[in-house]
Amino acid sequence: MNRFLILYLIFPIVISGCSTIDRNPVRTESTAMSAGTGGVLARVARSAKSTIPSHQSGFHLIPEADEAMKWRLALADHATKSIDIQYYLWYTDEAGTLLLSRVLAAAERGVRVRILVDDLLFANDESKLAALCHHPGVEIRIFNPQFVRGTGLPAKLEVLARFGQLNRRMHNKAFIVDNQLALMGGRNIGNEYFGLGKKYNFVDLDVLTVGPVVPEASISFDRFWNSKLSHPGEAFSTETGPEATDSVIADIHRWVRETDGILASSPFPRQRRDWSSRWDGLKHRWHAGSAALIDDAPTRAGDKIEGRFVEKALAQISEPAEEEVLFTSPYLIPGRQVHRAIRSYHERGVEVKLLTASMGANNHLFVHSHYRPHRGRLVDDGVDLREFREDAIPEVHAVADTPPVAGDRLALHVKAGVGDRKRCFIGSLNLDPRAIDLNTENGLIIDSPGLAGELANFIDTLMMDESAWSVTKSENGQLNWKSRGETLTRQPAPDQKSRVMDFFWGILPIRHLL
């Protein structure tokens, strides 16, 4: 306590002369626009409503990385009124810049664009962020930002002084266009999420939705957008004014058009195109179902959520499950409520299948290190526990890679659950303390046998013997890993260095932060 008191006392002195942002900037409240009535997306929505019961929504599952980007481009290219985007991460790599270029192009033709991200978009270029926000059709807000910018000592001191507040992040994902269609799921915006990563690519999941659940997503977005924790991008720099806006946007468009390498060889068009045939092909592919959006409130940073989101998601997927519950969570550190729920399923004779990442398929080794002690208990709880392999079969690689790019390995990022192949959850939620107690999360609970069946089949593919290790116990209580006719008595690892780092991360007392 005394150390933090000293930090608070010296903090104003240390940051004098540093780049800071206004703690209480002027922000104008706004809400989602009414649904668009003209253009391709309005036609798609009307077409879907003609085949889906009025009280239900329509859903289209998107596991393929290249399809995930194409659907985002198709939404942006056909937007007529509004684009509302909410993400945890938005990198300024090839995938991130391509999508940003298309969203900005929509703003230039009169579409209102609102982008809400956690504190990482243009993290090292606040002047560019501010310049974009001076465009009359573009608003960008940053959730729960650091007030001291940069990576120097003053910024590090702020993290120490305000750790409880800054440790809570917005993990939500949503891409809503014209208040008619929305994309939700686990993907952030960056190369690895769309098959363009050379080191690794994520196996991930989105769902495209139309119908009554879309306005629910818009209401959720507005709650975060108008929160006091969401700071306007123009407050991040006073050195850039409206005169720089056109130049910054032109540079982004030019880079996308002229860059060589990944984008030049990818199947993603680098300029706006007509996607009508793609949208027309959806008419008879929607899965109909009832849905509800569940999310955490953007309460003041540091407030605890007490696991309400997790418990609600688990309960609605699994009750009243009679045969099977499937879950996939790349970052798995189960707390008491997860273990309690699993035991109750097992006692009722419900089979519980759980897929998580092996050491080599986890992009956060420190999380894996604190999952490791839970394996034995999960097996004892009766879980059919699988760990996804970083060298899964070519059919799974085809889902994660966008040719000609092929990642050296795969990483799991799917966050989903299925109950009795009738109900499912798709969203941002991991089964770990950070998701339960720290971050804000969102997702859809969907009652649709068609969608749930397709999702279960996808998870089954990821859990196959060729793509995942089955974790069991021998008669003497020793953990075993079985896959492709091979049995290991030591956890699989990509190399010895990973084993050493796994050990050291595991002895650090950081479980509550993961």
Choice among 171-185, 319-333, 350-364, 407-421 with the minimum mean pLDDT: 319-333
- What pLDDT digit, counting tens, does each position of 472-484 carry? 999 899 999 999 9
Please determine, for residue 7, whether its predicted confidence score (pLDDT) is greater than 70.
no
211 contacts 49 by C-beta, under 8 angstroms: yes
DSSP for 395-446, please give it: HHHHHH--TT---SEEEE---EEEETTTEEEEES--SSHIIIIISB-EEEEE
Mean per-residue pLDDT, 211-237: 92
Based on the domain organization, do 182 and 88 belong to the same domain? yes
In a domain, 3, yes or no: no
Please determine, for residue 423, whether its predicted confidence score (pLDDT) is greater than 70. Answer: yes
Longest Cα separation, the chain: 72
Statement to judge: residues 348 and 490 lie in one domain: yes
Q: Is residue 76 a contact partner of residue 271, using CB atoms and an 8 Å limit?
A: no
d(CA 205, CA 284): 21
pLDDT of residue 147: 64
Cα separation, 463 vs 396, whole angstroms: 11
Residue 30 pLDDT class (50, 70, 90 cuts): very high
Asked if 231 and 365 sit in the same domain, the reply is: no
The pLDDT confidence band at residue 136, using thresholds 50, 70 and 90, is very high
The answer to whether 179 touches 385, Cβ cutoff 8 Å, is no
Q: CATH number, domain at 313? A: 3.30.870.10
Identify the domain containing residue 478 by its residue range: 304-513
In a domain, residue 210? The reply is yes
Residues 377 and 422 in one domain: yes
294 within some domain: no
Is residue 2 scored above 80 in pLDDT? no
C-alpha span between 23 and 435 (Å, rounded): 26
337-415-199 Cα angle (round to 5) = 130
Same domain, residue pair 225 and 149? yes
pLDDT confidence tier of residue 309, bands split at 50, 70 and 90 = low
Q: Is residue 17 part of a domain?
A: no
Whether pLDDT at 239 is above 90? no
Task: Provide mean pLDDT across the span 407-424.
Answer: 95
The residues facing 176 across adjacent strands are 84, 182
Q: Which two tokens stand for residue 382?
A: 């009766």
Lowest mean pLDDT among 39-48, 157-166, 327-336, 339-348: 157-166
Is 26 part of any domain? no
Does one domain contain both 240 and 330?
Answer: no
Last residue of a domain, one of 211, 245, 280: 280
| Contact call for residues 444 and 426 (beta carbons, < 8 A) | yes
436/505 same-domain check:
yes
User: How many residues does this entry show for the chain?
Assistant: 514
Domains in the chain, number? 2
Looking at the fold, whether 492 and 353 belong to one and the same domain comes out as yes
For the segment 175-201, the average pLDDT, to the nearest whole number, is 97
The answer on 447 and 325 residing in a single domain is yes
Residue 297 maps to a domain = no
Q: Using one digit for the tens of pLDDT, what is the confidence trace for 53-73?
A: 989 999 999 999 999 999 999
pLDDT of residue 391: 97
Q: Is the pTM of this model over 0.85?
A: yes
Is residue 163 predicted with pLDDT exceeding 70? Answer: no
| 339-368 pLDDT, tens digit each | 888 888 888 888 999 999 999 999 999 999
Q: What span, in angstroms and rounded, lies between the C-alpha atoms of 156 and 248?
A: 29
Residues 212, 341 within the same domain: no
Is residue 109 assigned to a domain?
yes
More confident residue, 14 or 389: 389
Say whether both 348 and 242 belong to one domain.
no
Token pair belonging to 105: 């192009």
Question: Rounded distance, CA 282 to CA 196, Å?
Answer: 26
Final residue in a domain of this structure, among 247, 280, 313? 280
% of the chain residues with pLDDT over 90: 67
Model confidence pLDDT, tens digit, residues 77-87: 999 999 999 99
Residue 289 lies in a domain: no
Are both 401 and 492 inside the same structural domain? yes
Give 464's DSSP letter: S
The Cα-based distances of 381 to 34, 332, 418, 422 in angstroms read: 48, 15, 19, 24
